[in-house]
């Protein structure tokens, strides 16, 4: 069976690895090769992280698959760090006592719940 990564060799892929990059953001890297236990990636950022300023040019780095959160192949859009706001609806206030007090004070101090008849 042909590996899915074989189609992406020598192409740009997007990689997320908090263990290597320090956050879960995507990084553009060139997929130089792949083996059973990991991938060979090359990028300027990755080279600087591993070698500092000592490397001349971009050097391929072996990254174990255990260190890769996910790899996106065939992505053409530039990577941007975007923090998404939560799209979950806000919960209604769970303070019925406050609503009862407002109702009671607006009706002359009578203690009555909303929806009850006088």
Residue 36 lies in a domain: yes
Helix or strand or coil: residue 32?
strand
Q: Tell me, yes or no, whether 102 lies in a domain.
A: no
The domain in which residue 57 lies consists of 4-73
Full-model pTM: 0.60
Look at residue 13 and give its three-state secondary structure.
strand
| Per-residue pLDDT at 3 | 72
> What's residue 41's pLDDT?
95
Asked if 42 and 30 touch (Cβ cutoff 8 Å), the reply is yes
Residue 39 pLDDT: 93
Number of domains in the chain: 1
Would 85 be classed as within a structural domain?
Answer: no
**Which parts of the chain have pLDDT scores under 70?**
1-2, 75-118
What pLDDT is recorded for position 89? Answer: 46
Q: What is the CATH number of the domain that holds 40?
A: 2.30.30
Q: Is residue 68 part of a domain?
A: yes
Structural domain contains residue 54: yes
pLDDT at 97: 52
Q: 92: which 2 tokens?
A: 């209604």
CA dist 96 and 80 (Å) reads 44
């Amino acid at each position: 069976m042909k590996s899915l990564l074989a189609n992406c060799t020598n192409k740009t892929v997007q990689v997320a690895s908090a263990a290597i990059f320090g956050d879960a953001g995507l990084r553009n890297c060139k997929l130089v090769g792949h083996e059973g236990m990991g991938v060979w990636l090359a990028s300027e950022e990755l080279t600087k992280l591993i070698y500092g300023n000592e490397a001349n040019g971009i050097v391929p780095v072996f990254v174990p698959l255990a260190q890769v959160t996910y790899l996106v192949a065939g992505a053409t859009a530039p990577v941007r760090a975007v923090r998404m706001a939560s799209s979950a609806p806000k919960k209604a206030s769970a303070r019925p006592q406050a609503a009862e007090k407002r109702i009671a004070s607006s009706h002359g101090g009578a203690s009555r719940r909303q929806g009850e008849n006088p």
